[in-house]
């Protein structure tokens, strides 16, 4: 499995799935969530609404899947990271967001997946701590190397890019 690090906009990434750092309502918001819905078009929001109507809100650490709408990616996996308050439970919830996204991806036969730096924007999770949790969750996922062909970590800001770059060395 290839692990790739890029700096840029996840909406432009060609992968089977990109992951969205959503909120529990699944109805869109700012940050990467806003960018994905803007670039992906209204069908993604329609699918999110249908999911909420069927199974309720998406709890922190859980994930749901929609099509990629107008995006180059075939699917969007919407997950909800924790808001950072400094409670140790938040580490586990952040790990769950990555793990549950991977589980859903594998269930759908996805081979290439791109992650943003979940929770490190509006939800204020410390970036270094979040990167460590993200890398551990993904790289230690059972049999990941056999299940996926490529994982891309997409850093939008320079600070996250530098942190990932150091940790991946
Ligand atoms: N491509 C890749 N990464 C991006 C992009 C982009 N186009 N835009 C921002 N980022 P955030 P959160 C990075 O705030 O902290 C929304 O309102 C950004 O630099 O998008 O999980 C949701 O609806 C940061 O590193 O998500 C929720 O309410 C990372 O994406 C809330 O924000 C995550 O920042 C979720 O907050």
102-160 residue pLDDT tens: 999 999 999 999 999 999 999 999 999 999 999 999 999 999 999 999 999 999 999 99
Q: How far does the centroid of ligand 1 lie from the alpha carbon of residue 145, in Å?
A: 27
pLDDT in tens, 37-73: 999 999 999 999 999 999 999 999 999 999 999 999 9
CATH class of 2-168: alpha beta
pLDDT band with cut points at 50, 70 and 90 for residue 76: very high
136 is catalytic: no
Buried (b) or exposed (e) across 105-123, using 16+ Cβ within 10 A?
A: bbeeebebbbbbbbbbbbb
Number of Cβ within a 10 Å radius of residue 94: 27
Percentages helix, strand, coil for the chain, rounded to the nearest 5? 45, 20, 35
Indicate whether residue 156 lines ligand 1 (CB < 6 A). Answer: yes
For the whole model, what pTM was predicted? 0.98
Indicate whether residue 63 lines ligand 1 (CB < 6 A). Answer: no
Catalytic residue among 33, 91, 136, 157: 33
pLDDT of residue 159: 98
pLDDT of residue 103: 98
Q: How far does the centroid of ligand 1 lie from the alpha carbon of residue 98, in Å?
A: 14
- Supply 53's token pair: 């109507």
Indicate whether residue 81 lines ligand 1 (CB < 6 A). Answer: yes
């Amino acid at each position: 499995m290839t692990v790739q690090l890029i700096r840029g906009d996840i909406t432009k990434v060609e992968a089977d799935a990109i992951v969205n750092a959503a909120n529990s309502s699944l109805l869109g918001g700012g940050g990467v969530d806003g960018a994905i819905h803007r670039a992906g078009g209204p069908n993604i929001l329609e699918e999110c609404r249908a999911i909420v109507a069927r199974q309720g809100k998406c709890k922190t650490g859980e994930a749901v899947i929609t099509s990629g709408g107008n995006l180059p990616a075939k699917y969007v996996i919407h997950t909800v990271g924790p808001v950072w308050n400094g409670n140790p439970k938040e580490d586990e919830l952040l790990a769950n967001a990555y793990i549950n996204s991977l589980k859903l991806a594998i269930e759908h036969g996805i081979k290439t997946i791109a992650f943003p730096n979940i929770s490190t924007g509006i939800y204020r999770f410390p970036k270094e701590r979040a990167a460590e949790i993200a890398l551990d969750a993904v790289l230690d996922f059972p049999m990941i190397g056999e299940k996926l062909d490529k994982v891309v970590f997409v850093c939008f800001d320079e600070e996250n890019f530098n942190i990932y770059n150091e940790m991946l060395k």
